[in-house]
Amino acid sequence: MSARQIQLVRMVRQDCGSCHGMRLTGGLGPALTREALVDKPVESLAATIYAGRPGTPMPGWRAMLSEDEALWIAQHLMRGFPEESGLTPKASR
Amino acid sequence: MTDPAANRRLVLRGLGILAGSSAATLAGCAASPTAPGGTAAPVTVGTGDLGLVIERASGAVAVVNTSSPRVLGKIAGLGDLSHASVVYSRDGQYGYVFGRDGGLTRVNLLTRTIEKRVMQAGNSIGGAISADGTLVAAQNYTPGGVKVFDARTLELLADIPAVIDGGGAAGRLSRVVGLVDLPGRRFAFSLFDGDAIWIADCSDARRPVVTRYNGIGRQPYDALVTPNGRHYIAGLFGEDGLAMLDLWEQPPRVRRILVGYGRGEQPLPVYKMPHLRGWAVAGSHAYLPAIGRHEVLVVDTTNWTEVARIPVAGQPVFVMARPDGRQVWVNFAVPDYHRVQVIDTPTQKVVSTLEPGKAVLHMEFTPRGESVWISCRDDNRVEVIDTHSLRSIARLALDAPSGIFFTARAARMGF
């Protein structure tokens, strides 16, 4: 995994986690576990991440992500999102 | 121990103990809180300068001392602590920790142990304790509603499902936010999906009487009660404005305040919901985070009109008054959460912008406000800052710290 992808994993777990839960089991935002997303089209998830969902608290994250990165996150959410532990290089902390 | 270097040494010594932490060293700590590793006889310890810091990633809370800033020990095994919060028993000995996964845990700050733990919901967001200390209430997203527990046994006394859509068994449940304690053994809370405020009178805790206020405004996301227990204010996500209930009015009625504060401008993205709990009422003014604008709104609490708006460095998350009301401290949502700003209330201006660390999630003032503790999640530390000099006086190593809760909250309504 690239350094940027490790950053994205952390961002999803920690920052998206403030609404969706650190374990992505939901909160003010819906659960984003593999089971919860099983019927969702990956493109619409990516679009929601990138542009937000009007009428709900879900903001678009385009200021912090490219469209490709939003798609990468959506794909990995659907597979069961990686944990942070094990991704961080040992030397960093 | 006011010399910062001495404090630093104490901190380091405390960490040394933690590194080799075992039941024996922790017990030694409890018996002799001012002399770690010493051999003094067991002494009676007060709780007024203790607190808990959530280590969100590791499911633990750290017990801390604020007189000489340091970590006394940790209590692990509390489950998913993302968005965890704590309320205290009146004597400050027990913390009730509300976890995201629905866990409600009573921890003993002196023995540093879990005394009781129940899984009370699938997805929880916080709680409150009654003024008499006998009832603990939890607010839940799943199943949406409030549950009331005996504070001593954690026995479930009442279940209040937040039923919307006309009620009945088939009624949808709303996610509940903004739970606070009110005088008279009551709890107030807001229904995010129900656009409502409910007040549960728990005089008879097994048979709560619920008063419902509907149509208060779209999507209340959090709420606060003013320090005198008079005004309950819910922030609205779905529209510009806040809903306010004057509880001293007979009968109370909901009023909209600060309507249209966005003035029709396109709102900025809100990457994290602001928190209203831990009111910022300073003198006759309340300081509130705007939603979707990088501003703190100042409202006159005598007539509830806007008196000013203060531009700040990002989407405000916590807007908290130092206990004396002279300063208001503000932290921000990602990507501006490396900053904290200090507002001077007499001039209503930002007088300082600090960068205490990466991913600032929470701030907590010591009981009289001479210092503030700031959790810096991505730096794995808590920074302790003197609120007069604005200089850092201590730094505590903690694992992804989030909420900080001192026992002084036990004595404050709505905390």
What is the per-residue pLDDT for B44? 80
Query: Which numeric CATH code is attached to B274-353?
Result: 2.40.10.480
- In chain A, the number of structural domains is 1
Instruction: Tell me if A52 and B141 make a contact (CB, 8 A cut-off).
Output: no
The chain B residue lying nearest A31, using CA atoms, is: B123
Does the beta carbon of A26 lie under 8 angstroms from any beta carbon of chain B? yes
CB B384 within 8 A of CB B394: yes
Q: What is the distance in angstroms between the Cα of A21 and the nearest Cα belonging to chain B?
A: 6
Q: Which chain A residues contact residue B57 at CB under 8 A?
A: 22, 84
Is A91 inside a domain boundary? Answer: no
**For the residues A13-22, what does the mean pLDDT come to?**
91
φ/ψ of B337, rounded to 5, equals: -90, 20
Interface of A with B in 6-25 (CB under 8 A): 11, 14-15, 17-19, 21-23, 25
Q: Which chain B residues contact residue A29 at CB under 8 A?
A: none
Query: Residue type at A75?
Result: Q
Question: For residues A45 and A30, what is the distance between their CA atoms, to the nearest angstrom?
Answer: 12
Is A87 inside a domain boundary? Answer: no
What is the per-residue pLDDT for B42? 63
Nearest of B279, B280, B236 to residue B259 by alpha carbon? B236
What's the CATH code of the domain at A61? 1.10.760.10
CB pairs under 8 A between A and B: 67
Is A30 inside a domain boundary? Answer: yes
Is A88 inside a domain boundary? Answer: no
**For the residues A8-13, what does the mean pLDDT come to?**
94
Inform me whether the pLDDT recorded for B12 exceeds 90.
no
Decide: residue B250, CB within 10 A, 0-12 exposed, 13-18 middle, 19+ buried: exposed
Instruction: Tell me if B100 and A61 make a contact (CB, 8 A cut-off).
Output: no
* Helices and strands, number each (H, E), in chain B: 2, 32
For helices A42-51 and A67-78, give the axis angle rounded to 10 degrees.
130
Interface of B with A in 221-280 (CB under 8 A): 221, 237-238, 269-273
Stretch among A77-91, B101-115, B161-175, B321-335 having the lowest mean pLDDT? A77-91
The chain A residue lying nearest B334, using CA atoms, is: A15
Name the band, by pLDDT with cuts 50, 70 and 90, for residue B170. low
Instruction: Tell me if B271 and A61 make a contact (CB, 8 A cut-off).
Output: yes
Does the beta carbon of B142 lie under 8 angstroms from any beta carbon of chain A? yes
Inform me whether the pLDDT recorded for B33 exceeds 50.
no
Query: Domain residues of chain B, as ranges?
Result: 274-353
Does the beta carbon of B149 lie under 8 angstroms from any beta carbon of chain A? no
Name the band, by pLDDT with cuts 50, 70 and 90, for residue B32. very low
B385: Cβ contacts below 8 Å, ≥ 6 apart? B354, B356, B371, B372, B373, B374, B391, B392, B393
Inform me whether the pLDDT recorded for B5 exceeds 50.
no
Which of A18, A49, A58, A87 best probes binding to B when mutated, by most B CB atoms within 10 angstroms?
A: A18
Mean pLDDT of chain B: 89
State pTM to two decimals.
0.89
Is A12 inside a domain boundary? Answer: yes
Burial readout B342-376 (b: 16 or more C-beta within 10 A, e: otherwise) = bbebeebebeeebebbebbbbbbbbbebebbbbbb
| Residue in B219, B273, B335 closest to A19 by CB | B273
What end-to-end distance do the CA atoms of chain A give, in Å? 18
- Over residues B58-71, the pLDDT tens digits come to 899 999 999 999 99
Name the band, by pLDDT with cuts 50, 70 and 90, for residue B22. very low
Q: Which chain B residues contact residue A64 at CB under 8 A?
A: 334-335
Question: For residues B231 and B247, what is the distance between their CA atoms, to the nearest angstrom?
Answer: 6
- Over residues B283-307, the pLDDT tens digits come to 889 999 999 999 999 999 999 999 9
B279: Cβ contacts below 8 Å, ≥ 6 apart? B224, B225, B226, B227, B286, B321, B414
**For the residues B98-110, what does the mean pLDDT come to?**
96
Instruction: Tell me if B100 and A27 make a contact (CB, 8 A cut-off).
Output: yes
| Distance from the Cα of residue A70 to its chain's centroid | 8
Q: Which chain A residues contact residue B178 at CB under 8 A?
A: none
The chain A residue lying nearest B239, using CA atoms, is: A55
Write out the residue range of the structural domain in which residue A12 sits: 3-81
| CB neighbours of residue B147 within 10 Å | 23
- Over residues A56-89, the pLDDT tens digits come to 999 999 999 999 999 999 999 999 999 987 665 5
What is the per-residue pLDDT for B168? 61
CB B48 within 8 A of CB B91: no
Question: For residues B56 and B378, what is the distance between their CA atoms, to the nearest angstrom?
Answer: 12
- Over residues B267-283, the pLDDT tens digits come to 899 999 999 986 788 88
**For the residues B126-154, what does the mean pLDDT come to?**
97
Which of B271, B291, B377, B398 best probes binding to A when mutated, by most A CB atoms within 10 angstroms?
A: B271
Largest Cα–Cα separation, chain A: 43
What is the per-residue pLDDT for B68? 94
| Residue in A18, A52, A63 closest to B272 by CB | A18
Does the beta carbon of A80 lie under 8 angstroms from any beta carbon of chain B? no
Is A86 inside a domain boundary? Answer: no
Q: Cα dist. B206→B42, B102, B158 in Å?
A: 41, 21, 5
B384 or B28: which leads in pLDDT:
B384
Question: For residues A10 and B34, what is the distance between their CA atoms, to the nearest angstrom?
Answer: 38
Name the band, by pLDDT with cuts 50, 70 and 90, for residue B16. very low
**For the residues B34-48, what does the mean pLDDT come to?**
67
**For the residues B38-63, what does the mean pLDDT come to?**
86
Bridge-based pairing of strands B360-365 and B349-354 is unpaired
Question: For residues B46 and B62, what is the distance between their CA atoms, to the nearest angstrom?
Answer: 17
